Amino acid sequence: MTRTLSRGRGGGSALLALVLALAAVLFGSAPVPAAAGGSWWEPVSRPAADSQINVTGAPFTGTDARGKVRGFVDAHNHLMSDEGFGGRLICGRTFSEAGAADALKDCPEHYPDGSGALFENITGGADGHHDPVGWPTFKDWPAHDSLTHQQNYYAWVERAWRGGQRVLVNDLVTNGLICSILPRDRGCDEMDSIRLQARRTYELQDHVDRMYGGPGKGWFRIVTDAAQARSVVEQGKLAVVLGVETSEPFGCKQILDVAQCDKADIDRGLDELYGLGVRSMFLCHKFDNALCGVRFDEGPSARRSTSASSCRPAPSGPRRSARARSTTTRSVRRRPR
């Protein structure tokens, strides 16, 4: 006997809801589809367990009456710092396909009460203890005085974009010395970390694109020249510039004032970074290298840093002031062939 199945007008929606709920139980989260007929600035789907944006209204587009683009700039950020310093200094990830519940977890050594968070406790971000639970309670982190917990989850960056941010410089950052003295789950080669962080930034762009309907449709757009940046801002999206801030670019460190790289190494390194899309670079960061010398930051933290470093000033020129070091950035340009 064959039974004819019939369903009411709402049967399809009920079935879809049941499937999504089952997927959430089995896999931890499931994409939540947006309402039909949404606007370009609203995602087609988003992980079920995720931070909410809670912003209404269309992002501004175009230019002002003088033909200038508008918006504010974050000129120095580290979206992928959780991948630097050996992978265990910054706890929590910028994004995960499974959403906030998977991305916003503390480092293993911070459990159960934060007493094992060496760098966090030394830098004054806690009184020796903190609640390691991130999502969904966020009792103790993120916090403005915590240096070891994720503060750049993609949805929080998205909220800044919706609030008017139009340019973000994502400096790929790490430090081999810090990596060597902390818990880590990978090697301390700085260039390996820079390559990984660049790849993860492109993966974040793809992640946002998938939520917004496909390649090129997301609000997070990596740009490599001023014309691209202007075009992205005119569209009302976020132009992301890749930069580098590391102590030993291209392996160019010094040992007893002897450079461990040559001109060919530097040329190859610059070409590689350019090929990755990097357009901004700090030649020095914290420690002297074969390219230039630095002056440490002022205060107690500077004395701790000085005692940790055996590097001496590069013989090629005088030390720069802390102000000059912090503001001197080289624009990475492809050399003429």
The predicted structure's pLDDT at residue 237: 98
The SS3 of residue 14 is helix
The SS3 of residue 308 is helix
Per-residue H/E/C for 69-107: CCCEEEEEECCCHHHCCCCCCCECCCCCCCCHHHHCCCC
The predicted structure's pLDDT at residue 37: 56
Please state, in angstroms and rounded to a whole number, the distance separating the CA atoms of residues 144 and 125: 9
Supply 225's token pair. Answer: 């020249």
- What element of type H or E holds 306? helix 300-308
The predicted structure's pLDDT at residue 76: 97
- Single out the residue of 170, 182, 169, 28 nearest to residue 105, CA to CA: 28
**What is the b/e burial string over 201-225, where b = at least 16 CB atoms within 10 angstroms of the residue's CB?**
beebbebbbbbbeeeeebbbbbbee
Q: Yes or no: say if 196 and 172 are a contact pair by the CB < 8 Å rule.
A: no
Please state, in angstroms and rounded to a whole number, the distance separating the CA atoms of residues 26 and 62: 44
Please state, in angstroms and rounded to a whole number, the distance separating the CA atoms of residues 316 and 294: 12
**Model-level pTM?**
0.79
The predicted structure's pLDDT at residue 303: 41
How many C-alpha atoms does 169 have within 13 Å on its Cβ side? 19
Q: How far apart are the first and last CA of the chain?
A: 79
Please state, in angstroms and rounded to a whole number, the distance separating the CA atoms of residues 272 and 253: 18
The predicted structure's pLDDT at residue 330: 47
The predicted structure's pLDDT at residue 332: 56
The predicted structure's pLDDT at residue 293: 85
- pLDDT mean values, one per 10 residues, the chain (337 residues): 39 43 40 62 91 94 94 97 95 96 94 91 83 94 91 97 98 94 94 98 98 97 98 98 95 90 94 97 88 74 38 35 37 53
The predicted structure's pLDDT at residue 127: 82
Give the residues across from 259 on adjacent strands. 254
